Structure 1
Amino acid sequence: MDMMQQFDRCADAVERLARLAERAEREADRVAQLIAADRVARPARKSKAGRKARAAPRVEIVAPTPEAAAQAPYVLQPVHTEQGQLLGRAWRRQPWFESLAKREAGEAERAGRVPLIGGDELAALRFYRNAFEMAERSAMKSSLDILPGGAGPGQARDLPPAVLTARADVALCESLMGEWRPTMRAVAIEDRTYAAVAMARFGSRNQDWYDGARGAFVAKPVPRSNRHPQIIRAEFLAGLQALAEAVRGRVRTG
């Protein structure tokens, strides 16, 4: 009798375990269905690396405006730090002397003479411009980066070697210019035309010009005399010869 009771108890336990297993299986199926439905309702999450890549801002190279492009040509050039590391690319305004050299070369070819702005002179102008821009960028950065107590990194011992070299190159370029240095800086560095420099020095007068887009006459400032831009041109060409002589041996044309 005792054995029969034990047998019945074992049978009941097995039956209960079977029911529990069946219930657990149904619960597992229900959970699996819920997970599948949730995945359908919501898009799958991307990996952390994917989210970072998507969140990273995309650097856009902004082209010059139509108004700026109409005033001067622009070229896409690499941008470097003072240490020479590449930062990216940006549109830069082409120096006015580049257009001036092309115009001078065309006039010389038509006249059958040697151009006044040849390969040596153009290379010297580029060397001067690049050195000046490097030195000026460092000077601006140093003036804004001031440490407590009035000390800052603008002292010579704190400047990168490339900046010290640029300052020395500027001094070399301007060493023989003398009284022509203001004109050279205005034309070669500031991209000012002969007429603009002449008006700043000698004054200007208004002259009426017909604007076809507006359909009316408009007053524009012009040099007081046609001789004044020619004076500036002569000063620039004289300063250019001094520049080319100063950097001879440092600059190669080809």
Structure 2
Amino acid sequence: MPVWKVVSLTCLALLAFAGNSLLCRAALLNGTIDPASFTSLRLLSGAVTLALLVALRAGLAPLVARAKLSGSWLSALALFVYAAGFSFSYLQLTTATGALILFGAVQISMIGYGFYRGERFSLPQWAGLLLAGAGLLALLLPGASAPPLLAAVLMLGAGVAWALYSIRGKGAGDPLLQTAGNFIRTLPLCLLLSLWYWQAQSFEAVGVVYAVVSGAVTSGLGYALWYAVLPSLKATTAATVQLSVPVIAAFAAVLFLQEAISLRLALASCAVLGGVGLVLRSKT
């Protein structure tokens, strides 16, 4: 793949990832939709979009036959936990805070998994990991500018679930087909969530649009773009460029949602992103 195309697709995918945080926060901030409905509509529209992409690539008949064999229920459960925790946490978290907690939890979880699997860290890597962990801890400690604890814990759980989903997806076969199968498998869980949250459901047209765009565009198409470019990127490069996602989300929130960035969040962001970057760069 030409370099210009790799760069372009990578940038679009990163914008899509940041867009998920922006769309979810915008929808919930204005009360245009409840978090359960946002989760269900996001996963449903993502499933439809991914299924159509697979169908366009392989034909509708092969899709029906192969979808039953794609993905797994455990991966679908991890995907659902991520999406639900993500939505409910954004009832109270700002866009930038949520993106930083999510990203930090994902990267630290995956780094920890690598250590569990026998990967040995150098001194700079240990320093980076401790710096990232300290940054997250400093963000969550009680204080005037600390995020609500329950919302922060939900986002941490979403990050761990996404890390598990990512780990299980490595080497699992065709990424697009696997992702489509996993999204489809979340639909019964979405139905249960919607039934459980039935009396609290509330949504307007704009909230539905945000949820569908989040599922179909920034999730479905975003993942498809990322998987298309991933083979052309080194593993460390792919991980490192994701450092930009919380930064993009923060600036977009300032621009579109008039959210302020506190000194505490800025310092925590430098610690988390700098620490993770140090760990990743020390691998090369």
TM-score range with shorter-chain normalisation?
0.3 to 0.5
Question: TM-score under structure 2 normalisation?
Answer: 0.30
Question: TM-score under structure 1 normalisation?
Answer: 0.32
Q: Which has the larger radius of gyration?
A: 1
Larger strand proportion, structure 1 or 2? Answer: 1
Larger helix proportion, structure 1 or 2? Answer: 2
Greater RCO, 1 or 2 (C-alpha within 8 Å, sep 6+): 2
